[in-house]
């Protein structure tokens, strides 16, 4: 237990906001140091457009189990001054502890506990909190052909595993109008603010509460001065759905939007970011986790469907069995009360180790391998 806490402290004290690539690189070295001590192996450092990710691979053949996590956080540099690392009355606190530096440490400790790590890969990425634009290819490459992916994102409420996640689409709608003096001759302008308001109403109407589909206009801007007809405006849109067909419906509808005002023009960017993680992708692994948890004196395990997405959406989208939410038990992700329940750390780490060992022992090797196209020798 003390080693787990000390390693979490090491990572939490090395702040790593996603947008600060130097900070992410420093964090990667901190993760590498913990992994080197526990695993006796140096990771590959995979740098994509300046963002540092880490990968360990064990054995000479294709990987069969992927332990997946990220070391970046949403917390800006300096957050430790207002949210210091602390352990008090069985609760661990600090920026990024729950989402998801504790999970990274748990993955490394679980792998270290395995009697044989052959067939295991560990991938710790540095850009998950901004949608994994630079690591998606690495994630899909590593997962393809695996028998199981275990995602070390934090648990749902009460320690529930995440067996279903919504798919996510993100769009940007930009409007071009025409400026004019708001008092002297507003009729000569084309009000981009009014046009973007029409577009906001149109995208909001795409939501379907009965199907759990949310389409939410978020960041909005328009105009330059209080006495000028806005010549430009924009709005970001966040869409979340439970199934691929619904994701496609929303995507087609957003892309077919047209201007309402004469002479206004709109441009639409973005698109589908993560496919849904369907319950079928997790069902078998969740059942296995329940059996193993009972044997370890943990449980019964609960499961949850959540609106947030993770890198597990990518792996499930490939058809690879994926179980998410295996990381820390606690709460307050991205919030002032972010925390981890210390007593659950060794229990959940033991469960992850048991899951990994069981899949390695009992899964067949009939699935297609993921060896083709890989870069680097890792620890093979």
- 161 and 303 Cβ atoms separated by less than 8 Å: yes
Backbone conformation region of residue 350, classed left if phi is above 0, alpha if psi is from -120 to 50, else beta:
alpha
Beta strands in the chain (DSSP E): 44-48, 51-57, 65-70, 86-88, 91-93, 120-125, 148-151, 161-165, 167-176, 214-222, 232-241, 265-274, 303-306, 322-323, 330-331, 339-341
Rounded distance, CA 281 to CA 150, Å?
A: 12
Domain annotation for the chain: domains and CATH numbers: 2-166+276-362 (3.40.630.10), 167-274 (3.30.70.360)
Contact 65, 147 (CB under 8 A): yes
Whole-number pLDDT of residue 2: 82
pLDDT at res. 349: 98
pLDDT along the chain (380 residues), means of 10: 93 97 98 98 97 96 96 96 96 97 98 97 96 95 96 96 97 98 97 98 98 98 97 98 97 98 98 94 96 92 94 96 97 94 97 97 52 38
Round to whole Å and give the CA distance between 38 and 300. Answer: 30
Cα 39 to the center of its chain, rounded Å: 25
The token duo for 48 is: 């994509």
In sequence order, which residues have a C-beta less than 8 Å from that of residue 184 and are 6 or more positions away? none
Residues labelled catalytic: 72, 128
The predicted pLDDT at position 363 comes to 58
* Full-model pTM: 0.88
Distance of alpha carbon 245 from alpha carbon 238, whole angstroms = 17
Assigned token pair, 152: 């070390």
Q: What is the dihedral of CA 145, 29, 17, 20, to 10 degrees?
A: -100
**Dihedral (Cα; 306, 126, 379, 357), 10-degree rounding:** -20
pLDDT digits (tens, 9 = 90+) for 174-231: 999 999 999 999 999 999 999 999 999 999 999 999 999 999 999 999 999 999 999 9
């Amino acid at each position: 237990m003390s080693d787990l806490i000390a390693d979490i402290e090491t990572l939490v004290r090395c702040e790593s906001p996603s947008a600060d690539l130097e900070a992410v690189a420093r964090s990667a070295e901190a993760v590498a140091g913990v992994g080197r001590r526990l695993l006796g192996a140096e990771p590959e450092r995979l740098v994509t457009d300046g963002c540092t990710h880490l990968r360990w691979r064990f054995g000479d053949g294709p990987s069969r189990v992927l332990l997946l996590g990220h070391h970046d956080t949403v917390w800006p540099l300096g957050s430790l001054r207002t949210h210091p690392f602390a352990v008090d009355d069985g609760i661990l606190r600090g920026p990024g502890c729950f989402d998801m530096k504790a999970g990274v440490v748990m993955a490394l400790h679980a792998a270290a506990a395995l009697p044989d790590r052959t067939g295991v890969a560990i991938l710790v990425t540095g850009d998950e909190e901004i949608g994994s634009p630079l690591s998606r290819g690495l994630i899909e490459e590593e997962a393809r052909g695996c028998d199981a992916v275990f995602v070390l994102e934090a648990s749902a409420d009460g320690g529930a595993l995440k067996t279903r996640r919504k798919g996510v689409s993100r769009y940007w709608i930009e409007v071009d109008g025409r400026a004019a003096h708001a008092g002297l001759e507003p009729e000569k302008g084309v009000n981009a603010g009014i046009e973007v308001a029409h577009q906001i109403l149109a995208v909001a109407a795409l939501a379907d509460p009965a199907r759990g589909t949310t389409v939410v206009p978020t960041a909005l801007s328009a105009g330059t001065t209080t006495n000028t007809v806005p010549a430009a405006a924009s709005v970001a849109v966040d869409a979340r759905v439970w199934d691929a067909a619904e994701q496609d419906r929303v995507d087609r509808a957003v892309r077919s939007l047209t201007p309402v005002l004469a002479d206004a023009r709109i441009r639409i960017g973005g698109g589908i970011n993560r496919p849904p993680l369907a319950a079928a992708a997790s069902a078998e692994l969740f059942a296995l986790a329940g059996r193993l948890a009972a044997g370890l004196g943990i449980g019964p395990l609960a499961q949850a469907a959540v609106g947030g997405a993770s890198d597990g959406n990518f792996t499930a989208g490939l058809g690879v069995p994926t179980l998410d939410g295996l990381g820390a038990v606690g709460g307050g992700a991205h919030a002032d009360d972010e925390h981890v329940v210390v007593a659950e750390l060794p229990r959940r780490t033991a469960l992850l180790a048991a899951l990994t060992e069981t899949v390695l022992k009992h899964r067949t090797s009939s699935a297609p391998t993921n060896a083709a196209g890989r870069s680097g020798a890792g620890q093979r």
